[in-house]
Chains A and B, each alone.
Chain A
């Protein structure tokens, strides 16, 4: 059952299929379209980066996959099983799809280790003692040895984010849904976190659905980068990043990396400008 053994072989689970999804918010009678006929395939074990300006509706899509919010129409499937559709608009949240939140959602009243073992113990998958052993091992793997008994409030924000990713992986999920997890970090910590995330990913291959507004982050991490239009949100351009994994920070200065940035920068900038102008109109 050790994931690190299966990690080297091809990943066969965690394929997410988003088909013609629409989300309309009905805010005080005024219908606002957040997601507009969005279709997207995310392969099993793929790192799929979703790039778009703030407020473009990409978090709405994540919430629909996670099961926190309902969709208006369309269908989202995972490994052939329907998560949500027009008939059953809200998916049931489950340990196969774990969200790592923008500002972090570690329970502040639990120690880091207690946070990490929360999922398996809740689901009754592991006895407490087994969960503690596994949790300690995974934390050590992620460079978190020594802070097991600290509270999240006692460690740096970069460490907190890593603890949260370990907590997510302890559930043995098919997919990790990350909602701008590094937004609040300074750029130096961010670069360390990127390498740390890749390292964790190489050991525990899962599908990663990663929302960001940082194009460099997207191209550095992703197999696939999906550039979204501003509200309503729909894929504008899908880029396959042909830089081979495993990657390290050397990639950032490579010629191919700069070419890919140039190729996509215009599309991202165009949407950011639209979002900005739309914001000005509303204001």
Chain B
């Protein structure tokens, strides 16, 4: 265990990443504080220039309007102690996990069925292809009508975000398995079920993992937007609406620092779930590590 940590600390890539994040935060702090350091007369020409091209005169464009990282950290420290913030995490995670797991449970068998059965492909694929281009967010109003609770409708939209991507990857992966593997398995006495279990399933696994990783990214995009549109199913207290609703209510309440706290929280959540999937992927497809 210690040796893994040592290895990471010794790696150039790790330190490059650390430096890049630190530099990013410093530049952001400087930019966000431009209103203060641009006040002296020495910067008058710069202010005139900004004004001349039609921008706000008092601070650097765009970045100057953003809360500084120090202020964001301060706001973060405050919300860390509030149950509502953690409730937001919990609700969003629940919806992403629910929608994503449902998408895997339905999408993987459905994709395999489309890949192995010409009949199923003939019946199922046209409908699938018509529904696939509809953006998940376009489903939000219909979903609210379909499902009895707000919770279910948001989870359903999240499900759609991952479902189509997973199915397309499973079908593509299963169809691209080399015909030689089927011929070899057949020669060596495999039944159709053996071929499915020992050739199609493992042969599709890498594509399943790729589809899942991409699908996971989409579920975070979708859940946040769905929470913003639907009000996140919040109770009267305003807590429990998910991270998307957390951002939205911060905006409505005028707390710009909290908006950024919400954004970074989603970034962390998305990164953590992708990393989890990457690890899972490596674990279930050990033969790809050999490449």
Contact = CB atoms under 8 A, between A and B. Distances in A.
Interface of A: 66-68, 93-95, 97-99, 101, 103, 105, 107-110, 118-119, 122-123, 150-154, 171
Contacts of A154: 290
Contacts of B185: 118, 122
Interface string B159-194: 000000000000000000010110111111110001
Given A107-B199, A108-B287, A109-B202, A95 B180 contact: no
Contacts of B178: 105
Given A93-B187, A95-B188, A153 B291 contact: yes
A66 B188 contact: no
A93 B186 contact: yes
B290 A109 contact: no
Nearest to B285: A109
A68 B178 CA distance: 14
Interface of B: 178, 180-181, 183-190, 194, 198-199, 202-203, 205, 285-288, 290-291
A95 B287 contact: no
Nearest to A111: B287
A94 B180 contact: no
Main secondary structure of the interface of A (DSSP, over half): loop
A216 to B, nearest CB: 27
A109 B200 CA distance: 11
Given A105-B178, A107-B202, A151-B286, A99 B188 contact: no
A115 to B, nearest CB: 9
A154 B194 CA distance: 25
Contacts of A110: 202, 287
A103 B180 contact: yes
A99 B183 contact: yes
B188 A109 contact: no
A66 B194 contact: no
A156 B290 CA distance: 12
Contacts of A153: 287-288, 290-291
Most chain B CB neighbours (cut-off 10 Å) among A99, A107, A110, A150:
A107
Contacts of A105: 178, 180-181, 183-184
Contact of B184 (A99, A150, A151): A99
Most chain A CB neighbours (cut-off 10 Å) among B199, B202, B287:
B287
B281 to A, nearest CB: 13
15 contacts: A94-B187, A95-B188, A95-B189, A97-B187, A98-B188, A99-B183, A105-B183, A107-B181, A109-B285, A118-B198, A150-B290, A151-B287, A153-B287, A153-B290, A171-B188
